[in-house]
């Protein structure tokens, strides 16, 4: 009995092993791809044949969005601000496109701007003011402006996301460079048109330039020396001369200036005074506008000047002098421009010859007039 039992157990174990082997073999065969025999029309692949990768097409750029942004939906009856206009109500020069503040007096460093919102029945008409450069000019919530330092800045008024700006020019100090930079900024123009023939003048410091040597008696070279108070632009007689800026005629005469010529003196609206000389005035009084014809260059007594040593190689010229109009404390300066008693000068450099220009103390070096824009 024991032997038969052992054989039965051995048989069962062998049967189980066979079943396991068959199961594993079937699983292996199931995972292998079917291998079909080659036909006449389909050649069998060689062992060295490589499969070439398929090139993928380059994707086209995505089309731009055609979505239209939606406009904000406003409540029914809502009235938005459409425009803002700034008006300059300052007490110094300027208009509704710019304001000019000067440190000549305390009141001239302040100004007032007013903003008009349209339409008048806008739902949010409150105006907010801001300065583009508070180191030059500051602005209050009511539009009052205060000059702080030299330069240009823009003041902006904003209401309901609508804005507009005005340019503000501030003149805080008074050297010749600052003076002419400010005059350029506020719109001064060259007194001679671009089409006129201005002769080439001598080098800086030469006979025609400001602060060059002059004599108190043009016909007597041994007379007392002084410094040239103006700047000479040599042009043909009859050349038209135009006002550099708006102003009021203070004096005009056809003679009495130099070598039989006349002059016209204009107090410009910025406070500066200009004497246009060696001319014949065509305006003798009243108001003048910037770029208005005010004089023509006169025929001078060249024969007399020639005795002065032939210094004037050109016969005719515009001699121009400029005065600031205020002293350093902001006091208005008045009186004769040809003041032989003046010994100190507020804005001109130190006289190089004879210790005097024989001119009023607020004299300004006019040389940079040549940098002003010329009208065609």
Query: Would you say residue 312 lies in a domain?
Result: yes
Over 80: is that where the pLDDT of 187 sits?
yes
* Angstrom distance (rounded) from CA 36 to CA 95: 99
Query: Would you say residue 260 lies in a domain?
Result: yes
Query: Would you say residue 57 lies in a domain?
Result: no
The confidence score (pLDDT) of residue 313 equals: 45
Total domains, the chain: 2
pLDDT band at 291 (very low <50, low <70, confident <90, very high): very high
259-282: average pLDDT: 93
Segment holding 371, helix H or strand E: none
Alpha carbon separation from 225 to 70, 214, 221, 232, 308 (Å, rounded):
79, 6, 8, 18, 13
- Let me know whether 124 and 220 are in one domain: no
- Between 5 and 353, the more confident residue is 353
- With a CB cutoff of 8 Å and minimum separation 6, the contacts of 275 are 230, 263, 264, 265, 320, 321, 322, 323, 337
CA angle 149, 152, 156 (to 5 degrees): 110
What is the CATH classification number for the domain harbouring 139? 2.60.40.1080
- Let me know whether 251 and 335 are in one domain: yes
- Let me know whether 267 and 126 are in one domain: no
- Let me know whether 142 and 206 are in one domain: no
21-44: average pLDDT: 56
pLDDT digits (tens, 9 = 90+) for 292-301: 999 999 987 7
User: What proportion of the chain, given as a percentage, has pLDDT over 70?
Assistant: 72
The confidence score (pLDDT) of residue 310 equals: 46
- Between 96 and 143, the more confident residue is 143
Segment holding 365, helix H or strand E: none
Name 376's bridge partners.
none
Alpha-carbon Rg for the chain in angstroms:
46
Query: Would you say residue 325 lies in a domain?
Result: yes
- Let me know whether 282 and 196 are in one domain: yes
Concatenated DSSP letters of 302-319 = HHHHHTTTS--SSS-EEE
The confidence score (pLDDT) of residue 155 equals: 96
* Angstrom distance (rounded) from CA 243 to CA 261: 18
Domain end call among 122, 142, 171:
171
* Full domain range(s) for residue 283: 189-371
- Between 346 and 48, the more confident residue is 346
- Let me know whether 163 and 193 are in one domain: no
- Let me know whether 141 and 230 are in one domain: no
pLDDT digits (tens, 9 = 90+) for 68-112: 666 667 677 899 999 999 999 876 666 777 888 887 766 778 899
- Between 349 and 208, the more confident residue is 349
Over 90: is that where the pLDDT of 364 sits?
yes
The whole-angstrom distance between residue 193's C-alpha and the CA centroid of its chain comes to 24
Whole-model pTM: value is: 0.69
The confidence score (pLDDT) of residue 344 equals: 81
């Amino acid at each position: 009995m024991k032997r038969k039992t052992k054989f039965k157990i051995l048989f069962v174990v062998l049967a189980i092993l066979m079943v396991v082997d068959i199961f594993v073999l079937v699983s292996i065969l199931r995972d292998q791809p079917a291998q079909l025999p080659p036909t006449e029309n389909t050649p069998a692949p060689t062992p060295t044949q490589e499969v070439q990768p398929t090139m993928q097409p380059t994707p086209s750029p995505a089309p731009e969005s055609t979505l239209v942004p939606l406009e904000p939906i406003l409540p029914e009856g809502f009235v938005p601000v459409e425009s803002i206009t700034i008006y300059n109500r300052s007490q110094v020069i300027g208009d509704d496109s710019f304001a000019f503040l000067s440190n000549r007096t305390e009141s001239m460093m302040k100004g007032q701007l007013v903003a008009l919102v349209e339409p008048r029945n806008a739902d949010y008409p409150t105006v907010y003011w801001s300065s583009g450069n508070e180191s030059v000019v500051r602005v209050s919530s009511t539009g009052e402006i205060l000059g702080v330092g030299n330069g240009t800045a823009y003041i902006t008024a904003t209401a309901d996301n609508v804005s507009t700006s005005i340019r503000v020019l501030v003149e805080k100090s008074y050297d010749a460079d600052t003076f002419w930079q400010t005059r350029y900024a506020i719109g001064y123009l060259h007194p001679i048109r671009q089409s006129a023939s201005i002769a080439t003048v001598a080098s800086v410091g030469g006979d025609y330039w400001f602060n060059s040597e002059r004599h108190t008696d043009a016909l007597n070279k041994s007379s007392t020396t002084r410094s040239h108070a103006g700047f000479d632009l040599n042009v043909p007689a009859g050349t038209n001369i135009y006002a550099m800026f708006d102003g009021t005629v203070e004096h005009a005469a056809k003679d009495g200036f130099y070598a039989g010529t006349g002059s016209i003196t204009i107090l410009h609206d910025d406070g500066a005074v200009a004497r246009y000389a060696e001319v014949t005035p065509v305006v003798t009084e009243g108001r003048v506008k910037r770029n208005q014809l005010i004089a023509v260059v006169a025929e001078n007594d060249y024969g007399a000047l020639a005795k002065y040593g032939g210094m004037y190689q050109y016969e005719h010229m515009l001699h121009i002098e400029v005065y600031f109009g205020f002293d350093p404390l902001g006091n208005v300066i008045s009186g004769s421009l040809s003041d032989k008693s003046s010994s100190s000068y507020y804005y001109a450099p130190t006289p190089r010859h004879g210790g005097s220009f024989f001119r009023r103390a607020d004299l300004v070096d006019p040389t940079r007039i040549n940098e002003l824009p010329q009208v065609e």
